Amino acid sequence: MINLVNPDQTLAELCDELHIENPDYLRDFLNKNCHPTERIKENSIGGKRILIPDKQQIAEINHEIRKNNESYYDFPVGGKFPFAFDLWAGTYIVSQTTYLNDEIKNVYEQTIRLDFEAIENTNYHFQFTAFDFIKNGETSDSKASTLSEMCIETIYPIRITINFQGEIIDAELTKKPKQIFSELEKVKEFFTDDYAFSYIEKMKKILEDPKEVFRKFTNTLLNNFLFGSFYQAKLRVWTTSQAYNDFYHWIPDAQPICFELQNTLCPKESLDDEFIKIKQKGISFDYRSLEDLFLTDSEYEKDISTSENSIDCEHFAEYVFSRKNYSLQRIEATFLNFVNENVEKEIFLLERVTDNF
What average pLDDT does this structure show over 123-132? 95
In angstroms, the first-to-last Cα distance of the chain is 52
**Whether the predicted pLDDT of 141 surpasses 70:** no
Q: What is the pLDDT of residues 43-92, one digit of tens each?
A: 777 667 778 899 999 999 999 999 999 999 999 989 999 999 999 999 99
Q: Which residues pair with 128 in a beta bridge?
A: 114, 158
- The answer to whether 266 and 278 are in contact (CB under 8 A) is yes
pTM of the predicted protein model: 0.91
User: What pLDDT is attached to residue 306?
Assistant: 94
**Whether the predicted pLDDT of 356 surpasses 60:** no
- The answer to whether 93 and 350 are in contact (CB under 8 A) is yes
How far apart (Å, rounded) are the C-alpha atoms in residues 266 and 276?
A: 7
User: What pLDDT is attached to residue 295?
Assistant: 94
**Whether the predicted pLDDT of 118 surpasses 90:** yes
User: Radius of gyration of the chain from Cα atoms?
Assistant: 25
Angle formed by the axes of helices 194-207 and 177-188, to 10°? Answer: 180
Q: What is the DSSP letter of 94?
A: E
**Whether the predicted pLDDT of 230 surpasses 70:** yes
User: What pLDDT is attached to residue 357?
Assistant: 44
**Whether the predicted pLDDT of 13 surpasses 80:** yes
**Whether the predicted pLDDT of 196 surpasses 60:** yes
Q: What is the pLDDT of residues 14-47, one digit of tens each?
A: 899 999 999 999 999 988 887 787 788 777 776 6
